[in-house]
């Protein structure tokens, strides 16, 4: 039984949410998914698609955990506290933090916000013919990982220019942002109110670059260096790579490991420096660390692109946890907290 419990605890927040939704039936699961933001729908949907060999004990543990959380509630009315607790229980604190505001303060996305629900290819088509400054503003407004995918679909000659424009943005007047929002809104029907003018800047540009494929990221940085070496250096200082995770404290590493799948961890560590590997081993149980070492030794040669993809995915989880205050990283990473 202890072994089964350990297995259940190793499930990520998205996997626990997936098991819960797959246990309650299609209709009810669909209603829950309607309340989630685009990134969370994608994560939970992906977890559903990739779940395999889920035993009865895992399902029971997830459902028991959910029931314990719900038990004791005076009512199931839509109180903010209840919704927050439900999301945190289902998705984990880091992931839930990103959607709480969107769910509690307005789910009907219009204008700029509606772009967050679109596939990167569709967003690229919408903004491709816009003025470069408009493209920079839109990508600054979207989540960094989505912006990175959109930017990768843009013509090569415009990528470095777009990054430089994003890095040079120092906010934008609310009236101008609202006007852009209204223009986009006409394409999707409806209306919306943009409340924040805090978009763009070097940090935003660096975050987008962090989500780019390594090859494209390097090409953009080199092009920026040719045009503005000082800006390129500032962007590199704000970025961080997988091995920078060694600067996270032990408690943070343990929290991060709970959100990372075993397969991704093995793949990512294939390309990690020894200090980070040892940091990971140190923050696992003896049995888990031995299993991880065996997996690393038995795993044959892997493609560099697969290693980089796994590392980027773990870094994305780390960034979300840093944004929510769950992780603190020294050195360059401090700029993300």
CATH code: domain of residue 179: 1.10.220.30
Reported for 296-301, long-range contacts at CB under 8 A and 24+ positions apart, including other chains, are: 296/266, 296/269, 296/270, 299/266, 299/270
Does 130 lie in the same domain as 88? Answer: no
Model confidence band, residue 67 (pLDDT cutoffs 50, 70, 90) = low
Question: How far, rounded to the nearest angstrom, does the alpha carbon of residue 115 sit from its chain's CA centroid?
Answer: 17
Q: What is the pLDDT of residues 185-214, one digit of tens each?
A: 655 544 344 444 456 788 888 888 887 887
Residue 127 shares a structural domain with residue 232 = yes
Q: What is the pLDDT of residue 193?
A: 42
Domain C-terminal end among 77, 104, 131:
104
Contacts with 33 (C-beta within 8 Å, 6 or more apart), sequence order: 21, 41, 44, 45
User: Tokens 């990372």 correspond to what residue?
Assistant: 260
The answer on pLDDT for 75 being more than 60 is no
For the ranges 11-25, 62-76, 192-206, 212-226, the one whose mean pLDDT is highest = 212-226
Give pLDDT, residue 5.
Answer: 45
Clarify whether residues 130 and 202 are in a common domain: yes
**Residue 279 pLDDT level (bands cut at 50, 70, 90):** very high
Rounded to the nearest angstrom, the gap between the alpha carbon of residue 210 and the centroid of all alpha carbons in its chain is 11
Q: Which of 75, 104, 133 lies at the terminal end of a domain, its last residue?
A: 104
Number of structural domains (the chain) is: 3
Phi-psi region of 189 (alpha: psi -120 to 50; beta: other; left: phi over 0): left
For the residues 22-36, what does the mean pLDDT come to? 76
Is 73 within 8 Å of 82 (Cβ atoms)?
Answer: yes
Same domain, 46 and 92: yes
In which region does residue 325 sit, left (phi positive, over 0), alpha (psi from -120 to 50) or beta (all else)? Answer: left
Specify the range with the lowest mean pLDDT, choosing from 21-35, 227-241, 312-326. 21-35
Does 248 lie in the same domain as 141? no
How many residues would you count in the chain?
Answer: 337
This prediction has a pTM of 0.49
Inter-axis angle of helices 304-323 and 93-104, nearest 10: 60
Residues 122-135 have pLDDT tens digits of 888 888 888 888 88
> Within this chain, do residues 74 and 127 fall inside the same structural domain, yes or no?
no
Structural domain boundaries enclosing 296: 242-336
Residue bearing the bigger pLDDT, 80 or 234: 234
Looking at the structure, do residues 153 and 182 belong to the same domain, yes or no?
Answer: yes
- The pLDDT, as a whole number, for residue 8 is 46
How high does pLDDT run on average in the chain? Answer: 75
**115 and 234 together in one domain:** yes
Q: Could you say which of 45, 76, 104 is where a domain stops?
A: 104
Share of residues in the chain with pLDDT > 70 (%): 70
Residue 233, both tokens: 């250096």
Q: Are residues 225 and 253 in the same domain?
A: no
Burial zone of 223 (CB within 10 Å; 0-12 exposed, 13-18 middle, 19+ buried)? middle
Q: Report the share of the chain in percent with pLDDT over 90.
A: 12
Q: How far apart are CA 176 and CA 119, in angstroms?
A: 25
Query: Same domain for 123 and 209?
Result: yes
Residues 125 and 214 reside in one and the same domain: yes
34 and 94 share one domain:
yes
């Amino acid at each position: 039984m202890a072994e089964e419990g350990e297995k259940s605890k190793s499930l990520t927040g998205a996997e626990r949410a997936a098991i819960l939704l797959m246990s309650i039936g299609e209709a009810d699961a669909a209603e829950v998914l309607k309340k989630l933001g685009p990134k969370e729908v994608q994560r939970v949907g992906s977890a559903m698609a990739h779940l395999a060999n889920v035993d009865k004990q895992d399902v029971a543990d997830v459902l028991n955990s959910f029931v314990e959380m719900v038990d004791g509630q005076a009512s199931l009315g839509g109180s903010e506290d209840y919704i927050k607790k439900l999301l945190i229980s289902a998705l984990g604190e880091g992931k839930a933090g990103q959607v709480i505001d969107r769910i509690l303060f307005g789910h009907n996305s219009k204008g700029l916000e509606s772009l967050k629900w679109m596939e990167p290819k569709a967003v690229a088509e919408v903004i491709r013919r816009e003025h470069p400054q408009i493209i920079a503003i839109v990508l600054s407004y979207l989540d960094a990982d989505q912006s990175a995918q959109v930017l990768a679909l843009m013509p090569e000659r415009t990528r470095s220019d777009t990054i430089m424009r994003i890095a040079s943005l120092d906010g934008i007047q609310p009236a101008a942002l609202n006007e852009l929002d209204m223009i986009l809104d006409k394409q999707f029907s409806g209306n919306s109110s943009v409340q924040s003018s805090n978009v763009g800047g070097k940090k935003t540009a660096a975050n987008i670059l962090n989500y780019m494929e390594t090859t494209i990221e390097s090409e953009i940085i080199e092009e920026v260096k040719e045009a503005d070496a000082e800006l390129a250096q500032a962007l590199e200082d704000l970025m961080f790579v997988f091995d920078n995770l060694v600067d996270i404290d032990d408690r943070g590493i343990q929290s991060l490991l709970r959100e990372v799948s075993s397969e991704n961890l093995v793949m990512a560590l294939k390309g990690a420096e020894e200090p980070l590997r040892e940091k990971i081993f140190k923050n696992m149980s003896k049995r888990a660390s031995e299993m991880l070492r065996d997996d690393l030794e038995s795993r044959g040669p892997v493609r560099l692109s697969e290693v980089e993809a796994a590392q980027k995915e773990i870094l994305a989880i780390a960034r979300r946890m840093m944004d929510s205050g769950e992780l603190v990283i020294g050195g360059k990473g401090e700029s993300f907290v």
